[in-house]
Amino acid sequence: MVQGFGLTHRGRERSRNEDRFLTAIGPETTLLAVADGMGGHVAGDVASTLAIETVERYWKDLSAKIAGGGLSEQEIASIVENLILEANQVIYRQASKDPARQGMGTTLTLGLLNGLNLTIGHVGDSRGYLIADGRISLLTRDHSLLEQMIANGLVHPGQEGEHPQRHVLTRAVGTGPRLEVDLVQRVLTGGSALLFCTDGLTSLVEDEEILQIYLDKREPYRVASSLIELANLRSGIDNITVVLLTGIGKREENS
């Protein structure tokens, strides 16, 4: 049986938490999302809140339509993309009306699971991971200046460390009238897990450490709280959010 849980913490150094998350678990379809308001920009918490609220509002009307079946992979991908584009417009319009909020933006990583079919829409550097068969796989690609430098051969993978461009985003939700959304589609196997998180976790905890804690703890609350605790032990320099979905494709056993 599918189990989902989300947990967020402002970390040890930030005065407020600009992360937001969503878990909407249904009998046929599930929606997960994490958003990280842009640090160093005004109203980052407003931007991430607007993103999640917009997705949640439109999802209430869409979930029944998707669960009813008959939609192609392309149609579902369009739904996911449009959810993010709508959030982009809401945030951009708010920023345009209020000079104090101009420039606000957020990451947004959104996953729609319909049966075993997963569609992810992604903007920014919050991440989506798949855990299956004892392995962890990164499903998203960071939209950061550092990732761009790695792609261009200017920085070698594994040497990121505390690179000054590590958290400089090249793409964010709400900062402009148009937005390019990355889309990822996968067919999952039974027993898989999905983990979405903000960079407050991944800047301090390695992928293999995430996997090991998942394998050790299993239960969503224990996994999420242990990951956040570890990030805080390692300075907790940013807000930290973890959303975990387990038991994908498993049916509840009769007692």
Q: What is the mean pLDDT of residues 17-41?
A: 90
Other CB atoms within a 10 A radius of the CB of residue 182 amount to 17
What does the DSSP assignment read for 155-179?
A: S-TT--TT-TTTT-BS--BTSSS--
Task: Give me the pLDDT at residue 159, please.
Answer: 54
Task: Give me the pLDDT at residue 249, please.
Answer: 84
Helix (H) or strand (E) holding 248: strand 240-248
List of domains in the chain = 3-248 (3.60.40.10)
| Pairing of β 127-132 and β 192-197 | antiparallel
Q: What is the mean pLDDT of residues 214-222?
A: 94
| Mean pLDDT computed over every residue of the chain | 90
Q: What is the mean pLDDT of residues 44-55?
A: 96
Decide if pLDDT at 160 tops 80. no
Task: Give me the pLDDT at residue 65, please.
Answer: 83
Task: Give me the pLDDT at residue 254, please.
Answer: 45
Q: What is the mean pLDDT of residues 123-151?
A: 90
